[in-house]
Every structure is written in C-alpha cells, then in structure tokens.
Chains A and B, each alone.
Chain A
Amino acid sequence: MSVASAPTERVPGPIPALAGIGLRFPHHQAVIERRPAVAWFEVHSENYMGGGAPLRYLEAIRSDYPLSLHGVGLSLGRVDGLDADHLDRIVRLAARIEPGLVSEHLSWSISDGDYLGDLLPLPLTEEALDVVCDNVDRFQQALGRQILVENPSSYLRYRHSTIAESEFLVVVARRTGCGILCDVNNIFVSAANHGLDAHAYLAALPPAEVKELHLAGHTVKQLSDGAELRIDDHGSHVEPAVWALFRQAVLRFGARPTLIEWDSNIPALDVLVEQADQASVILLQPHESRTNVDAA
C-alpha cells in the first residue's frame, strides 16, 4: 500500500503540437497557483527521482498538464551498457507520472562508472552506432515505449568520426524505432562551432521521425585568440537566427511539440510563456501540406 498508487485524475497524456515550457523548480509554485496558458511542460527526469516536495509538485502539475520526461544522465553512449539503477529510477518515475514523451540525448556522460557532469558528443563511428542502438533498445524495452533521442550541442568533434551527426541520428531511429528530438538551437550552435550548414542538417532529418523540437537561448564566448564559440547555456531569449531556423524546421517537419528551455538566469514565468507564445504563433501558421500527410 503506498500513496503513489492512489488513483489520480489525469488529463490526456499526449503532448500536443504546440509550445511547452521546460519546468524548473523556481516556477513550481507559480504554475500551480496561476495555471498559465501553456500547452505542456517538460522536466529533467533527474530532478524528480527522489521523493518529497519536488515529486508532489510534479504530480499536482501533471493533473492539469501533459508532461514530458527529458533525461540528462542516462548516457546513451555508455560503452558498458546503461546504468541499471539509473534506468530503474527513470522507469519508476515514468510509471508514476505517465509522461506523454520520454527523451534522452545522443551523448555520453559516464566513463568507467564515473559521471562527468556534462553531455559529451560521441565519436560518430560504426562502433558508437552499435553502442547507442543497444542502449536505446534496452531503454525502450525497460519503458515499454518509444523514446526520443536529441541531437546535442557540441563544442568539439573527433578525428575518427566517419558519419554525419544527422545521418547517425536517422540510423539510430531506423534501427531502434526511436524518434528524433530535434533541438533547433543545438543545430545552430553546433553548426556555428564547426563551420557546418544548419539547413543541410535539417534537410537530412526525415519529417516522420521528428517528434519534438527544442528552442533555447545561447551565448557567444570570445576565446583569447579572437575566435568564438557559441555556448548552449539556456540562459537567454531565443535568438532571431534560431527563430528563423525554427521556421524552416516547422516548414519541413510540420507542427511538432516545441519546447522553450531556460536553465540559467531563469526569468519570471511570464517571460517563458511569452517565448512559448512566439513559438506557438509559428506552429499555428499554415505551412506545407507535409503536416497533413503526416496526420493522415
């Protein structure tokens, strides 16, 4: 007998093809009190793996909004297979929250059992492809559902890489049946950091596999030699150039659930709602017939 098993009223779980907000602790209370007009929320799974207040807030919010669980710690690129304890924590959280979507990153964060504290890019090789596919398979089996895998922002590439990241994601999706979470800001940031073409990246992703989009702000870091790196710090408004790329993404993929992420210098909830409204305006504009084809 446990409190967790008590039946609760749930709104329908599926995440609509509208804009949602990345929910962070400072906004728990405001969301419960004000019930903002936001279509859905996404949370970092790792923030709700214990009991107590965070989970109570999440359950209260879940009774009014669809929720998506977005992981940052499972390390899909881990060569030793997934951490069984961490996987179990996600599975239990998903059973309790009944999320509309579950996602993780195309990255690694654990080496020899040590967690590094960041999402690192993988060498894009056939070996890494096998590792990621095995881990995605195990994750989906444990959850009993499809997951989405997100393209990371990256600041480095490996000499060994033989596969374009977009192609790598597409192969993972084809082999495992997972979907793709296309982070438009990450594409922009990575393309700028590596001198690649963001539009070519979008063009390489098959619309039917793309189930969610992410948007966020980033900053530009000046290096000592005058060069620049774009840093995906989720600490500001979405940049005009990223909004432009988002419009391209919506034209190509059709309307998809779209998340506004803001993780550092977190502003008032209203600022996030305003960013989400901007995204919704673009999502609701009439676009190519592709959406209708997908929906049919």
Chain B
Amino acid sequence: MSTLREIQRAVARSIRSPDNGEALRHIADDMIAAADRLAIYRNNAAATLVGALRIAYPAVEKLVGAEFFEGAASIFIAQHPPRTAYLNDYGAELADFLGAFPAAAELAYLPDVARLEWAVSVALNAPDVPALAPAALVGLAASEHDRVRFVPHPSVRLLSLHYQADVIWRAVLGGDDAALAAIDLTGEPLWLVVHRGSEGVAVRRLTQEEARLTAMLCSGSALSEAMPERDSAVFVALLADHLAQGRFAAFATCDPDRAANGHGD
C-alpha cells in the first residue's frame, strides 16, 4: 500500500500538471470520475495562486491584460511553486521570469514595473517596527558621528532600474491614459527607494550618487565609510530625508578603530 507521502506526492504532481494522471489510481472513482474530482482542486489551487500574484502585481496585470497575466502566472507558478503558505511572500521572482518570457519580450519595461510592484508589496507587508526618531541622535557627541551605523527599516527596498517604472506604475494604477501616452519608454537608468512610512508606502527617486550612499547606509556602513567628506550638502540632505521619512529603524556606534579603517561588520 502506498504511504501517505507517496499519495500526497502523486496528488501534488497531478494538481500542478493536468497531464499527470498518477494520482488517479489513489482516488475513488464512483458516480463521478476521479479526474473530474481532482480537477476541482487543480482549479481552486490555480485560482488561489494566480490571485495572490494579481494582488502583488496589479499594474503588471493592467499592462498585459487579465488573460495574458493569467497565462503567464500559470507558467510562473509551475516553474516557481510557492514554498510558503504565507502568500504575501510569494512571487518575488516574477520580474526575472517576465524578463525571460518570450511572449512579453516587446514590453521591455515590464520587468522593471514588476520589480517596483514587488518592492511595494514587500513594503506594505513588512513587519511593524518603529522608525528611528531623529531625536535619538541628538545626544551623540560630535566625535561619535563618524561611527554611526544605521539599521534600515524592514520595509526599505532600493531599486536600480532601466526604465521609468515609477511613472508607468502611477499612470497605470491611476488610469491616467494621457500620462501613459506621454511616457518615455526608451531605457534610462532610474534609482528608487521604497519604504512604508507613517503615511503608507512611499516611492522616491534618487540620483545615482544618492542611491550609492543609501545602499552603503542601508548595508550597515558607518557614516565615515559612506561619506568620508560628510559635509557634502547632498549627503546631509539625503541623511535628513531618510531620518525624517523613517527609513531607519535603529543605529549603533561601532568601534572607532574599525570605523577609521573602513571595515564593515
């Protein structure tokens, strides 16, 4: 007799692939055919998983249409089945999948829109962690400033893109056809920081230099490492914005020697 594991494997395979009838021999075939019975689960499962992707990628769906989205999502699901029942965590690989999906090749900007939507989804669902209040830094001695390292808020995501994904995303979700028609679809580098602040999820453009500095700060570099000449107006304004918007969750002052030598943890 088959073990529970064997039966579950056979049913799982048959649910993922309609051509796979391996499970049928385990299923009672009475007044209704076993294949019809199994098909109900296959349809339910597909609806649930496509639905989860639809929630995370509304602009991608609007750009390609519901039918195309469902077809692409079904192939994606077969290639990347969820490894968790917490479906807010499901779908991270869709942008790369779309980038390699021949049927979407003409929409070169589509993967970047998906990258932005995934960052927004991650920010929406990130754990509740209080933002670092700028006042917490007030008591630091000037000599300690070099050694400050920040911990980014768990909702923060940095994106380095090739298309104007933020403009496309806003125009698509806002149903703004005039804005959509005016979008420059030729490639141009774009850097974004996404996070969830007190007013909800925010998407902000960064310059290349701001993106470089933000990446260093968010990876735990000490201030002295991120910006040896910290009096740069760009850096001061950027740091002030990150603090004011709540993009950091905490800070620590690291060992002076290590900061001076520029070694990260």
Contact = CB atoms under 8 A, between A and B. Distances in A.
B251 to A, nearest CB: 14
Interface residues of A, number: 55
A24 interface: no
Nearest to B9: A111
Contact of B127 (A51, A73, A127): A51
Nearest to A111: B12
Given A79-B8, A111-B11, A52 B45 contact: no
Contact of B27 (A109, A117, A159): A159
Contacts of A53: 124, 200
Interface stretch (A32-40, A224-232, A278-286): A224-232
B38 interface: yes
B142 interface: no
A86 B83 contact: no
A86 B84 contact: yes
Contacts of A229: 32, 36-37, 40
Contact of A74 (B37, B40, B85, B87): B85
B227 interface: no
B124 A156 contact: no
Contacts of A75: 85
Contacts of A110: 85
A225 B32 CA distance: 9
A53 to B, nearest CB: 7
Contacts of A120: 8, 11, 41
Contact of A118 (B30, B33, B41, B90): B41
Most buried by A among B7, B45, B88, B196: B7
B26 to A, nearest CB: 5
Interface in A75-120: 75, 77, 79, 83, 85-86, 89, 108-118, 120
B32 A223 contact: yes
Contact of B8 (A3, A46, A111, A195): A111
B49 interface: yes
Most buried by B among A74, A75, A131, A160: A160
A145 interface: no
B81 interface: yes
A125 B83 contact: no
Contacts of A115: 81-85, 87, 90
B12 to A, nearest CB: 4
Contact of B45 (A2, A116, A161, A225): A116
A114 B82 contact: yes
A160 B130 contact: no
Interface in A113-170: 113-118, 120, 122-123, 125, 127-128, 131, 155-161
Most buried by A among B28, B40, B45, B90: B40
B32 A118 contact: no
A177 B88 CA distance: 32
Which 9 pairs of residues, A with B, have the shortest CB-CB distance?
Answer: A73-B85, A50-B125, A51-B128, A111-B12, A117-B45, A156-B37, A117-B48, A114-B81, A155-B40
Given A4-B128, A223-B32, 5 more contacts: A46-B85, A55-B128, A115-B82, A116-B12, A229-B37
15 contacts: A46-B86, A50-B124, A51-B125, A51-B127, A51-B128, A53-B200, A86-B86, A115-B87, A117-B48, A117-B82, A122-B4, A127-B4, A156-B37, A158-B28, A160-B26
